[in-house]
Amino acid sequence: MILQRSVCRNLNKFRNLYSFRQYSTIASTNENTLKIENIKNKLKDAPNLSEFIKLEQQKNTKIDEKDNGEVYIPPPYLRNSEITGEGRRVYVESYGCQMNFADTEVINSIMKSSGYQITDSDSNADVIFLNTCAIRENAESKIWGRLSELRAQKRKLKNGQLLVGVLGCMAERLKQKLLESEMKVDLVVGPDAYRSLPSLLSAIEDGEQQTAINVMLSADETYADIAPVRTSQNSVSAYVSIMRGCNNMCSYCIVPFTRGKERSRPVQSILEEVKQLSEQGYKEITLLGQNVNSYNYLEEEHHVENTEKRLPRDGFNTIYKSPKKGVTFTQLIDQVSLVDPEMRIRFTSPHPKDFPDDLLHLIKERPNICKSLHIPAQSGNSNVLKNMRRGYTRESYIELINTIRRVLPEATISSDFISGFCHETEEEHLDTLSLLEYVKFDHAFMFYYSLREKTHAHRTMKDDVPLDVKSKRLQQVVDTFYRVLKQNTHKEIGKKHLVLIDRISKRSDKHYIGRTDTNKKVIIPNHFKDSAEPINVGDYVLVEIEDGSEITLKGNPIMKSSIEHFQQYQHKKVMINEN
């Protein structure tokens, strides 16, 4: 029955892909080119139920062996000869959050599996995708500017073969408007429709359509079965997407409208990807989600009651009903951390309501779960937080911070802040400045408010804080943050940190750049003072901090180490101090 349900779900997905009426909307500047017979012919080629049953049963059969030894079984619609890249080159530019960069690796995999070549330059590309962000007006302005450049680039080509596609959140937000603009966009595809890219490109490249669009959101798409093609082959760090979408519906935020509802990726597929990354030599992974710590995987085989507290922390609430069953984020990261004790685990972006004490104590217990927490505040005033629909007050946020300081005294804390939200008064703004001074954040992402269509704030509130006031308040937030940070930087001098070396410095090939467990950037010489042993990218090095600024610390490399050895070193230091 499980196989039958899985087959039927997949069959419906692929049949919908062949149906230009239901799964994707094809837009053309010449409606006469849309032939009904052409659509019927495509539907005739769609796989039937027997093909999908056979495909499910043959998942472990070697059909197509890639250069890296991985086995790929193309689904029926991709085995069709008309949907193939035939070596055409694809270049993907990523903008915005980490999730977009992770999605780019999924897009690369889909395109590569369809016969396209992935190129790292737009100068020799046949297809250019812009994987976009829509969180703020400034983010979209960058895309419009880039599209203007690409329009000029297309005009210079005599053969007119360059195709430009807008993908991601901006595609989902603006939809048809992008095709109707003067920017000569050929393709518009939302975050849940990347599987349709080869077929949509085929329709354009074969002359069947002039433009194409698919912006349908999905209730279950997580791309769990797609092995990402990593954009950097030399990196020691990798992103692992564990869930998509957001249910919080904060009044200022467009994400639920561009990314859809929350859905979590199966546990086993996450663990398998983490194991593969460990075997490939990666030393650090970041678990990703729009609301990563609300992860809750629920399938029929997991329909068991869970004893872990499922409600938000005391003082926090949601506008949606909290799940009572399923695998939680705490349980997931527990399993992930056991895959490779020498692999660091980070996660972003979380919501303050989803930090149960069990999670904090697990982070304390596991040395490979990084002691660096992102706790987005957005404002320091309870009334503004209420208008934002954040689900907590200033007092409950501070209580969470105090709890973190008690359980994880060495942890660093970062945050997000929005200045000049609807109806924000000067007094309310001052509460944000005082919160910055109280918490002493180690890093912060700070912006002034940008009204987004469709959001709760757009429908029910007035964007009544003048731009010059927004800018002034933002500058005060930035100044306060850096002033407090500078006062605390000296506390790092003399400390010893385990630093993961991740790259050679761009300013000097005689120095390395690495990061501490607490996500502090550290620059060190590329050699030890008293040893000829080489230091390499990917090494864990014990480093003593000698100097630094608000942004970067400078350290002296003492010796190579490991997460296990550094933990033993810290235990010995604690015992000596206690005696």
Of 332, 226, 335, which is closest to residue 289 (Cα–Cα)?
332
Residue 80 CB partners (closer than 8 Å, separation 6+)? 45
Residue 536 CB partners (closer than 8 Å, separation 6+)? 501
Of 247, 169, 176, which is closest to residue 212 (Cα–Cα)?
176
Rounded to the nearest 10 degrees, the angle between the axes of helix 98-113 and helix 197-205 is: 60
**Is residue 134 scored above 60 in pLDDT?**
yes
CB atoms within 10 A of CB 101: 17
pLDDT tens-place string over residues 164-185: 999 999 999 999 999 999 999 9
Domains in the chain, please, with CATH?
A: 2-214 (3.40.50.2300), 237-490 (3.80.30.20), 493-578 (2.40.50.140)
CB atoms within 10 A of CB 276: 14
Between these two residues, 323 and 310, which has the higher pLDDT value? 323
Q: What is the pLDDT of residue 53?
A: 39
For 46, the token pair is 């769609």
The Cα–Cα gap between 80 and 54 comes to: 17
Between these two residues, 578 and 136, which has the higher pLDDT value? 136
The Cα–Cα gap between 562 and 57 comes to: 43
The beta strands (E) that lie in 207-320 are given as: 212-214, 237-241, 243-244, 263-264, 284-288, 296-297
Dmax (CA) for the chain in angstroms is 86
The Cα–Cα gap between 149 and 304 comes to: 54
Residue 145 has φ and ψ, to the nearest 5°, of -65, -40
Side chain identity, residue 65: E
Q: What angle do CA 17, 72, 125 make, to 5 degrees?
A: 70
Q: What mean pLDDT is reported for the chain? A: 86
Q: Which of 19-23, 438-442, 523-527, 532-536 has the lowest mean pLDDT?
A: 19-23
For 351, the token pair is 């919501």
CB atoms within 10 A of CB 272: 14
The beta strands (E) that lie in 47-171 are given as: 89-94, 117-118, 127-132, 163-168
Q: What is the pLDDT of residue 312?
A: 66
pTM here is 0.84
Q: Please give the C-alpha separations between residue 392 and each of 202, 294, 295, 417, 434, in angstroms, as whole numbers.
A: 49, 16, 20, 15, 17
The Cα–Cα gap between 346 and 344 comes to: 7
Alpha carbon 312 to its chain centroid, in Å, reads 23
CB atoms within 10 A of CB 235: 16
pLDDT tens-place string over residues 415-430: 999 999 999 999 999 9
Helix (H, G, I), strand (E, B) or coil at 167: strand
pLDDT tens-place string over residues 255-306: 999 999 999 999 999 999 999 999 999 999 999 999 999 999 987 554 445 5
Q: What is the DSSP letter of 292?
A: G
Q: What is the pLDDT of residue 416?
A: 98
Helix (H, G, I), strand (E, B) or coil at 573: helix
Tokens 């990703």 belong to residue: 288
Q: Is the peptide bond before 218 cis (omega within 30 degrees of 0)?
A: no
Q: What is the pLDDT of residue 310?
A: 56
Of 407, 399, 347, which is closest to residue 373 (Cα–Cα)?
347
Q: Is the separation of the CB atoms in 187 and 200 below 8 Å?
A: yes
Of 514, 517, 521, which is closest to residue 567 (Cα–Cα)?
517
Alpha carbon 424 to its chain centroid, in Å, reads 30
